[in-house]
Structure formats: structure tokens, C-alpha cells
């Protein structure tokens, strides 16, 4: 397995009404998007070409949605990128850009 193209830790992952983890991980590696618990157990994964990532119309800047395998996940990432060397999840905008890039839909 190569170096991940995108990795975020400390991400709150949930579905419509249920929180699945408050400190999960999101990783894009080898053409797959993986949603993991804080312990590294897989919640869901799919090829990035089959994933739709977007920003909710109404809501804070730190949220993104990811549609995988017919399920919509709400991801709460950072509202801004952390300073270099500082812990914390990257901005939701960076996650959306990373999905599009990995799927060949963006720059």
C-alpha cells in the first residue's frame, strides 16, 4: 500500500441521525476512500470513482458529505486547515478537492 493521498484524523463521522465515531479517520489511498473508527476498524469504503463528496447547502464550513455504497455520511472536519505541525483535521474543502482529484474529476 502506498502513501495515502489524503488522510484526516479526529473526524466526526455520522449518518443522518446517528453518530458513528467522534474521532474517526478518513483516508484516500490506492484509489479507495475509507472511513475508519478511531481504533482503525472500517466503517465503510468504496472506490473514489463511486464516491460523491460535497458540502451541505446549509451548515458550518467544517462539514462535508460523502455518499458511499448508497449511504450518506456526514463528516465534521476542521473549519480551517491546521497550522503546519499542529494536530487537527484539515478543512472540509480539502477533503472534497482530494476526492475529486483522486477520481480524476478535478485538477
Distance, in Å, from the CA atom of 57 to the CA atom of 64, rounded to the nearest integer, reads: 10
Strand-pair category, 52-54 with 6-14: unpaired
Picking from 71, 78, 73, the residue whose alpha carbon sits closest to that of residue 93 is 78
4-30: burial string, b at 16+ Cβ within 10 Å, e else? ebbebebbbbbeeeeeebeebbbbbbe
Q: Please report whether residue 21 resides in a domain.
A: yes
Residue 105 has pLDDT above 90, yes or no: no
Q: Please report whether residue 1 resides in a domain.
A: no
Average of pLDDT values for 2-9?
Answer: 80
Q: Please report whether residue 17 resides in a domain.
A: yes
CB atoms within 10 A of CB 51: 21
Distance, in Å, from the CA atom of 55 to the CA atom of 49, rounded to the nearest integer, reads: 18
Q: Please report whether residue 81 resides in a domain.
A: yes
21-78 per-position pLDDT tens digit: 999 999 999 999 999 999 999 999 999 999 999 998 887 788 999 999 999 999 999 7
Domain hosting residue 47, numbered range: 6-104
51: domain CATH number is 2.30.29.30
Q: Please report whether residue 95 resides in a domain.
A: yes
The tally of domains found in the chain comes to 1
Amino acid at each position: 500500500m502506498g502513501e495515502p493521498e489524503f488522510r484526516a484524523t479526529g473526524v466526526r463521522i455520522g449518518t443522518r441521525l446517528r453518530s458513528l465515531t467522534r474521532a474517526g479517520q478518513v483516508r484516500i489511498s490506492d484509489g479507495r476512500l475509507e472511513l475508519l473508527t478511531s481504533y482503525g476498524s472500517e466503517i465503510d469504503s468504496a472506490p473514489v470513482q463511486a464516491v460523491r463528496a460535497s458540502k451541505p447547502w446549509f451548515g458550518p464550513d467544517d462539514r462535508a458529505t460523502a455518499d458511499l455504497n448508497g449511504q450518506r455520511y456526514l463528516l465534521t472536519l476542521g473549519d480551517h486547515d491546521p497550522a503546519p505541525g499542529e494536530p487537527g483535521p484539515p478543512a472540509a474543502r480539502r477533503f472534497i478537492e482530494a476526492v475529486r482529484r483522486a477520481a480524476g474529476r478535478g485538477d
